[in-house]
Each structure stands twice: as C-alpha cells, then as structure tokens.
Amino acid sequence: MDRKIKWGILGPGNIARRFADALLRCEDAELYAVASASDPERAAAFAKEFGAEHAFGNYDRLLEDKNVQAVYIATVNTTHKELIKKCAAAGKPVLCEKPCVLTEADAAELQALSESSGTLIMEAMWTAFLPATFTVKKWIADGRIGNLKGMSLSFAFKGDRSSRRLYEKKLAGGGMYDVGVYCIEYAMELTGAYPVRCESISAPQNGVDEYGVLLMRFPGDIIADCKYGVGFYAGGDAYIYGDNGRIFVPEFWSGGRCELYGEEGRLKESYTDPEENRFIYEIRHFNRLVREGKTVSDIMTLEKTRACAAVFDKIRSYEL
C-alpha cells in the first residue's frame, strides 16, 4: 500500500472543506477524488481547490475507482446509512460524519454489515481522537479530581432558520442530531460506559428539536446534564466534577484546551493543543486502521455509535 492513503469525499459541503484541509496537512493522506450527486460543478471546483485528481457527478463512479482507499461521507444525515452500505458493497473503508445513523436499529444493521463484509465502518466523532480528550481521560483515570461524580456539557449555536439541514425534519435536522450527539458521546467517552437512564425535554421548531436538555445517569451514579441546540448561542463548554477537584474544557467538542483545578479552586495543570486543524488526529487513526487491515476501531467502535443511537431513540420517545 502506498505511503499516502488516497481518500474520496462524498458531499463537498462546509464540513468536507475542513476535512479536505486536514488531509493536506497529513503526511500519510491525500485527497484523490470528490463526488457530488447534485452539483458536478461544485465537485469540480472543490477538487481543483484542494488538489484532487478526480471529480465525479455521482457517488457510484467514485466508489468504482479502484484507487480510492478510504471514503469520507459528509452528506446530509438521512443519506448516511445507504451510502455506507454502498461503500461496503464496493469494499471501501468508510468514515461517516456524525451522526452515523439515526436509530439503534440502523446502527445494529451497520454493525452486522461490518462484521459480515469485513468492511471498516467508523463514525467521524473527531472529539474522541483529540489530545485534550485523552488528557482529560487520563486526569480522571489518575484520580486527579478524586471520584468522578458528574459533568455539565453545553453545545448550542444560532443557526440559520432557512437551513434545510438544520430545520427540516425529513433531513433529520434539529439540535439532537447536529450537536447533541457530541454531548452524548463525550459523556460516554469520559465515563467509559453507556447511560443506564436518560430523560429529555426539548423545544420544537418546524417539527425538529431546536433546543433540548438531556439528563443521563451512568454506572456509579455519575450524572451528566447536557444542553444542546441550533436556535441560539449557549457556548460549547464542559465542566467535569469530582469529589476532589474539577476539569474545565472550553469548546469541548473541538478540544483545544483543558484545565485541571484542585478542590480549593486553584488551577493545577493545563493543556493547549497547538494544532490548527484537529481533524488530522481522526484521519491519522483511520489511516492506521486501513494500513493494518483492521475492520474495527479501537477508539470509536460501532458499539459506541449504537449506544448513542439508543439515546436518540429515547429522546425521540418524549413528546416535543
């Protein structure tokens, strides 16, 4: 296998731009092809900007290219599952933007598909690969804040109400899928467990949850309260509490800095990530899996994706 993994991108949107920029910064990856099912000219412009060799006007042509070694899906939420299945049929390892799926049943289907086809399928939850996240997990594991007791997570921003991606139900818009997913998966990452109970309340707008509050209980009576939304700005910070200290992570989902405080409230230690585009950590991890022929990530498993989707199911069971 070549030193550089040749990537194909399905869906040249905003998030794909940041991903493509990260590919340019990775010594072991390159953007080889990009495809758009709705706008071939956009795919061509994207390919030219980021130096990709090929631009396609449909997804199948990209997947048929034998030189593509890994695929990144950056399309709207409702298309993810079927595109992942297409990638598996083509034998392409696939990294799919969050949320990878919308229900636990879909997650179970993809888990079975990965096992039966031997295809690497991974959700692109980049937060799990950030050095700041590893630092926070080590502080907790080393007992630097005593026993972990709880956390407060917030991720809410003011989105454009004309955005179909954010506000259209049939495209799986709303706060839970767009940003609540970060809160759910970050809490699971820090506790190393799945929630045993969750309760939610949300505010509807155009049939989607514009804003919501989620409470989760984890084994050991660890409580996580999460606020998420796309209708107004409420920051993206994390506060993690132990019985002998606390941790503060500003903009936890992008993870550039974390701070450790003692019981008396004094700053004891901090970490700052100098990297400008932190998608590189996720990409490097996936590249390693592809080179080693792995079909399961040792960090972002489909079991985690399935557990998060089970929370989605629970949240949807509450009336908007």
- pLDDT class of 318 with cuts at 50, 70, 90: low
> Exposed/middle/buried for 305, CB within 10 Å: 0-12, 13-18, 19+?
buried
How many whole angstroms separate alpha carbon 70 and alpha carbon 282?
A: 13
Q: Are strands 94-97 and 121-124 parallel, antiparallel or unpaired?
A: parallel
Range(s) of the chain covered by CATH 3.30.360.10: 131-272
Name the token pair of 282.
């996720």
Range(s) of the chain covered by CATH 3.40.50.720: 5-125+279-295
DSSP per-residue codes, 198-266? EEEEEEEETTEEEEEEEEEEETTTEEEEEEEESEEEEE--EEEEETTEEEEETTTTT--EEEEEETTS-
Q: What is the pLDDT of residues 138-178, one digit of tens each?
A: 999 999 999 999 999 999 999 998 999 999 999 999 999 99
Count of all residues that appear for the chain in the document: 320
Q: What is the pLDDT of residues 233-275, one digit of tens each?
A: 999 999 999 999 999 999 999 999 999 999 999 999 999 999 9
Classified as helix, coil or strand, 148 is strand
Q: What is the pLDDT of residues 58-105, one digit of tens each?
A: 999 999 999 999 999 999 999 999 999 999 999 999 999 999 999 999
The residue ranking higher by pLDDT, 3 or 119, is 119
- Per-residue pLDDT at 205 exceeds 90: no
Whether pTM > 0.85 for this model: the answer is: yes
Name the CATH topology of 131-272: Dihydrodipicolinate Reductase; domain 2 (3.30.360)
- Per-residue pLDDT at 23 exceeds 90: yes
pLDDT for the residue 320: 42
- Per-residue pLDDT at 1 exceeds 60: no
pLDDT for the residue 207: 86
Q: What is the pLDDT of residues 29-47, one digit of tens each?
A: 999 999 999 899 999 999 9
pLDDT for the residue 281: 98
- Per-residue pLDDT at 319 exceeds 90: no
pLDDT for the residue 2: 58
* Spacing of C-alpha 192 from chain mean position: 17
Q: What class is the 5-125+279-295 domain?
A: alpha beta
